[in-house]
A and B are shown apart, each in its own frame.
Chain A
């Protein structure tokens, strides 16, 4: 066996033995580098005659080709193995929770309020606002709630100390008066906001709650318009299979007035009605006091309790949970 044959056997064995890319590179240096045995064989070239050089040259080329093939193959194999090892080492359990701070959630009341507003905005209503500590003139007088009327007493008003006539508004209706005294018809506004009553806190009462008020004043507004608007609202919010029913009621600022119920289908085919809002045709006294001619214009108004809708829709049993700011509650919706 010639030297080169023997060298090739050893080189190929060393390549096969190399277990990583560094070792493989070391094999390359050992067998083909400047101080390798190959270099020694190559150096003998100059002592040979032309024929001998040619024969050795062919042997050397064959050696190099064989070495390179084995080297490349081994390098590829080792590279693939290294990549596979890396990928294996980088394995993640993606069922772990992501280590990111999630965004906070809007309050349930905000979500319900915005959903309700969106329905009315889609119909053409704009959004109006007003103060929570409100002048009694807007909260009562301009809404036809006379100082001596029992309705005024029934409102359980919280009064602000040190001012002639300022209360925590008992409803969002004063914004009706603010809008009507500053804008000319046609007027179509919805008014979300906080309202207050001197109610002790329990599972169903809160001294603070929120309403969405609606007001539409124009020529020839009818009670059918009111019913149609509220029906469309109830179906948008609760489902297209719902119906509404109007029952006579009393509010000082509307005449005729109605309580409005929405139908529901309970378990076992049970059918019933849930009261969700109060509504009516704007009382001509209110229009007149707010500077709108009741002979020419008519209007409807309604007021919806946001807490009540939220509690009905989501099965919240205790109104206190809405104001406790327990993160378990807040994050749920």
Chain B
């Protein structure tokens, strides 16, 4: 809402500068967003009458013009590019030496200084200005033509407050009353403890208007005035300025007046051409499904049951509260006008406006609720203005209203416990102070008797219990937001000043902290960082070609209103976002990058990923709606992606590139750290897999209790090529949900200490030769089982392929550290270990290399 300062001052008393005013307002719920000064800088502009014009002899589109200010300064000649004026019209003449602000020069500079200059051989003294040039409208297609009774030779400054400040405020969703000058003025009066006044309006004519039948509770009251002998023309300067300052476009005097009154009083109005209304009466009713109406914007609208229409006994002529109909609109030769102001139900107007995608200044106000008591004043105000500005005569009026008023239009009284207000605000506000604050806001307040009735006999208690000491508060009609004790508490706090609320640090009766599961999540991220991966945060939207990642499926969580087609789904895996980030860094000329992200991936409820997780930890990781309805799967994932050289601060490793081992290392470490300690069922296995987008020989599924919970691999060369990334590109992700879910509330059981063996250790190296198909995991498991309790530690240290072991085979070397808690080991023990390894190896198709 835009608030021209001089307009505001006609409605409320205050004595504050603009900055102070904005500060006070922002402190009291009228948040100032901007202060502008449209028209500022305009100088040397006076009103003038066109005496004569003729075509420019050397230019088709120019006119040679003579104007006079009638102020004793004679006639002035000029050249004008517009053609929208006649001899005798009153126009705005910017004289040489003057300035018009609304022009942007070819160099981007704003404003134009005027001089006398040659235009195609004729001298032009200044210019005739367009509304846009004067910042009195957007219209740049023609010059500003003013009503004929505009004083001549007057400086623009003397006619209107050119360039005055206009304060723009943000309107809170519950404060529809702030969508008008009067509404803001009333609130300012409450805030500043001063007085406000509405414009004076005439009594309504007693003669009848067109009969109106009100057939729906969607309308609380319907007010009409009939105006005859209306002269349609342009609006006077002051009215043009008001509309322009408020961001609206001047059109003609009738439309402009209805808009002005809407801005001033908050009540939208509509003007019908009375002669174009078909029937003898109007009916306000709910539309039937499929009815049609062409609205003012020349669009045929198909109505639905529940929309509100005004019907002229022939067909709908207005989409109530949203937009009038085209065929009854006021036009240039309209002589008889029916002014209408009605109070429509907010919910209905909002539904209609949303369904049709049609938002108007009127619907914006109705859906936030207008003052049910404000329509009579508004229609009278508009009629009064048209009587003076369009030389109209007010010849009739009518009011119809629902009795009793529909519930949505009532402002029932609220029971207020002043002691509760004091407790909530922690401010010792005496009852009479609270009463005074509420009265400033326009409420009427009465004490309640013990029975819960208002002591003056009006109103009934809305709550149980003794009402002793409680107050019965009737909010003003324009404050629909004051319907409950909590609302009144806020109003009291607001007008008393939030600054007067003390601060007190409560000592909470709860103990703070992270749960073991929350700590585990941080541990997972820390391990990725320790591996040299920087944490990234990527947007979780993906397009149709997103990388599928672990447990791939076609299932996507799609968005109904995505921001872009390449962001139409939620990520099914974190890898797409990370790979794009890797590409971004490569594009920046970085020799290498390693990124990690911890976040949620999204899959449909019936996705196989859900089945896999359920099999490990049951369904407790799934979120549901309040009644238990499933919502999309969104498990937490730790993902990694890396490409190019390893580099530190100021150091580049020209030998080492990021490899699949780096990714595997992190995820394996995370699984081992987060799993229940020493529980073999929580060991992560790796199974070689082939999968789209991945290198067929360098990819493994991470498997927990037979279920895939992650993947590690190098991108397929073609996938790397498609992403314009030099190889190798390595990625991996691990579902954290099983590990977080298995972490008990009190944390895992403590890891028991192990007695350190004091007898010297013995080191034995073994090498096993086997076909490539025999995995290292198998070989290691075999050795561990064979060595048994003597094994303290086992290290892999070499892999050999070559002539000595034969094609398709390899030798794998491990160093064993052997210890016995009871005695010192001897060579015989070593021999025995080697023999049992040899025997066990044979069982898996491997041979001990001697």
Please list the residues of chain A having a beta carbon within 8 angstroms of any beta carbon in chain B.
97-107, 109-110, 114, 120-127, 129-135, 137-138, 142, 148-151, 153-154, 158-166, 168, 181, 186-188, 194, 198, 200-201, 206-208, 216, 218, 220-225, 227-229, 231-232, 245-250, 252, 255-259, 281, 283-284, 298, 322-328, 330-331
Per-position 1/0 for B338-381, Cβ under 8 A of A = 00000000110011001000000000000110000000000000
B503 partner, pick from A132, A186, A227, A255, beta carbons under 8 A? A227
Residues of B163-190 whose CB lies within 8 A of A: 172-175
Contact (Cβ within 8 A) B506 A250: no
B634 within 8 A of A: yes
Residues of B within 8 A of A252 (CB): 173-174
**Which 4 residue pairs spanning A and B have beta carbons closest together?**
A124-B508, A325-B581, A256-B490, A135-B625
B539 within 8 A of A: yes
Contact (Cβ within 8 A) A227 B502: yes
Contact (Cβ within 8 A) A127 B525: no
A120 partner, pick from B424, B512, B531, B596, beta carbons under 8 A? B512
Residues of A within 8 A of B426 (CB): 222-225
Q: List 11 A-B contacts (CB under 8 A).
A: A110-B525, A123-B512, A124-B508, A132-B634, A133-B632, A148-B350, A160-B557, A160-B560, A165-B625, A229-B506, A255-B487
Contact (Cβ within 8 A) B510 A149: no
Q: Indicate the size class of the contact surface on chain B.
A: 35 or more
Instruction: Return B592 CB to nearest CB of chain A, in Å.
Output: 9
Known pairs A188-B508, A223-B493, A325-B581; A104 contacts B501 (CB<8 A): no
Q: Which of B111-119, B448-456, B642-650, B692-700 contacts A (4 or more CB under 8 A)?
A: B642-650
Residues of B within 8 A of A231 (CB): 503, 505
B514 partner, pick from A121, A221, A228, beta carbons under 8 A? A121
Instruction: Return A61 CB to nearest CB of chain B, in Å.
Output: 47
Query: Chain A residue with minimal CB distance to B632?
Result: A133
Contact (Cβ within 8 A) A99 B424: no
Cα A22 to Cα B684 in complex, Å, equals: 58
B534 within 8 A of A: yes
B632 partner, pick from A158, A160, A257, beta carbons under 8 A? A160
Per-position 1/0 for B384-414, Cβ under 8 A of A = 0000000000000000000000000000000
Contact (Cβ within 8 A) B651 A247: no
Contact (Cβ within 8 A) B539 A97: no
Contact (Cβ within 8 A) A124 B347: no
Contact (Cβ within 8 A) A166 B631: yes
Contact (Cβ within 8 A) B510 A104: no
Contact (Cβ within 8 A) A132 B600: yes
B515 within 8 A of A: yes
Residues of B within 8 A of A110 (CB): 525, 535, 537
Contact (Cβ within 8 A) B486 A281: yes
Cα A245 to Cα B23 in complex, Å, equals: 13
Instruction: Return A188 CB to nearest CB of chain B, in Å.
Output: 5
Contact (Cβ within 8 A) A142 B593: no
B634 partner, pick from A114, A131, A218, A248, beta carbons under 8 A? A131
Instruction: Return A280 CB to nearest CB of chain B, in Å.
Output: 8
Contact (Cβ within 8 A) A188 B648: no
Residues of A within 8 A of B558 (CB): 160-162
Q: Which of B124-132, B582-590, B721-729 contacts A (4 or more CB under 8 A)?
A: B582-590
Please list the residues of chain B having a beta carbon within 8 angstroms of any beta carbon in chain A.
26-29, 31, 172-175, 346-347, 350-351, 354, 367-368, 423-427, 484-487, 489-490, 493-494, 498-499, 501-515, 518, 522, 525, 528-541, 557-563, 570, 578, 581, 584-585, 588, 590, 593-596, 599-600, 602, 604, 623-627, 629, 631-632, 634, 646, 648-651, 653
Residues of B within 8 A of A324 (CB): 581, 584
Residues of A within 8 A of B560 (CB): 158-161
Known pairs A158-B562, A208-B539; A103 contacts B530 (CB<8 A): yes
Cα A220 to Cα B585 in complex, Å, equals: 53
Residues of B within 8 A of A245 (CB): 27, 498-499
Query: Chain A residue with minimal CB distance to B569?
Result: A161
Contact (Cβ within 8 A) A322 B602: no
* Other contacts beyond A161-B558, A198-B561: 8, CB < 8 A: A114-B522, A126-B513, A131-B600, A160-B570, A166-B625, A186-B510, A227-B501, A298-B424
Query: Chain B residue with minimal CB distance to A125?
Result: B512
Known pairs A104-B528, A163-B632, A198-B561; A127 contacts B534 (CB<8 A): no
Contact (Cβ within 8 A) A246 B538: no
Contact (Cβ within 8 A) B559 A160: yes
Cα A222 to Cα B489 in complex, Å, equals: 12
Most buried by A among B522, B538, B540: B540
Known pairs A132-B600, A162-B558, A250-B172; A224 contacts B514 (CB<8 A): no
Instruction: Return B361 CB to nearest CB of chain A, in Å.
Output: 15
Query: Chain B residue with minimal CB distance to A119?
Result: B512
Cα A167 to Cα B494 in complex, Å, equals: 34
Contact (Cβ within 8 A) A281 B585: no
Residues of B within 8 A of A109 (CB): 537
Contact (Cβ within 8 A) A100 B367: no
Query: Chain A residue with minimal CB distance to B532?
Result: A101
Contact (Cβ within 8 A) B650 A97: yes
Instruction: Return A126 CB to nearest CB of chain B, in Å.
Output: 6
Residues of A within 8 A of B604 (CB): 162
Residues of A within 8 A of B518 (CB): 127, 129
Residues of B within 8 A of A120 (CB): 512
Contact (Cβ within 8 A) A104 B563: no
Contact (Cβ within 8 A) A228 B505: yes
Contact (Cβ within 8 A) B175 A250: yes
Instruction: Return B534 CB to nearest CB of chain A, in Å.
Output: 4
Contact (Cβ within 8 A) A131 B648: no
Known pairs A100-B648, A159-B561, A224-B503; A105 contacts B534 (CB<8 A): yes
Residues of A within 8 A of B490 (CB): 248, 255-257
Contact (Cβ within 8 A) B424 A222: yes
Residues of B within 8 A of A255 (CB): 484, 486-487, 489-490
Cα A168 to Cα B540 in complex, Å, equals: 11
Residues of B within 8 A of A104 (CB): 528-535, 594, 596
Known pairs A104-B531, A133-B634, A163-B631; A124 contacts B512 (CB<8 A): yes
A97 partner, pick from B28, B494, B649, beta carbons under 8 A? B649
Cα A228 to Cα B490 in complex, Å, equals: 18
Contact (Cβ within 8 A) A228 B593: no
Cα A135 to Cα B424 in complex, Å, equals: 31
Contact (Cβ within 8 A) A102 B648: yes
Contact (Cβ within 8 A) A256 B595: no
Residues of B within 8 A of A258 (CB): 498
Residues of B within 8 A of A221 (CB): 506
Cα A185 to Cα B31 in complex, Å, equals: 35
Contact (Cβ within 8 A) B649 A102: yes
Instruction: Return A294 CB to nearest CB of chain B, in Å.
Output: 9
Known pairs A158-B561, A164-B629, A186-B509; A222 contacts B423 (CB<8 A): yes
Contact (Cβ within 8 A) A107 B367: no
Instruction: Return B174 CB to nearest CB of chain A, in Å.
Output: 5
Contact (Cβ within 8 A) B501 A326: no
Known pairs A121-B513, A283-B486; A99 contacts B651 (CB<8 A): yes
Known pairs A160-B632, A323-B539; A246 contacts B532 (CB<8 A): no
Instruction: Return A254 CB to nearest CB of chain B, in Å.
Output: 9
Instruction: Return A209 CB to nearest CB of chain B, in Å.
Output: 10
Query: Chain A residue with minimal CB distance to B600?
Result: A132
Contact (Cβ within 8 A) B535 A105: yes
Instruction: Return B739 CB to nearest CB of chain A, in Å.
Output: 15
A126 partner, pick from B512, B585, B653, beta carbons under 8 A? B512
Residues of A within 8 A of B513 (CB): 121, 126
Instruction: Return A157 CB to nearest CB of chain B, in Å.
Output: 8
Cα A264 to Cα B581 in complex, Å, equals: 35
Residues of A within 8 A of B539 (CB): 206-208, 323
Cα A201 to Cα B585 in complex, Å, equals: 20
Residues of B within 8 A of A208 (CB): 539-541
B623 partner, pick from A122, A131, A248, beta carbons under 8 A? A131
Instruction: Return A314 CB to nearest CB of chain B, in Å.
Output: 15
Contact (Cβ within 8 A) A148 B347: yes
Known pairs A284-B484, A284-B486; A99 contacts B653 (CB<8 A): yes
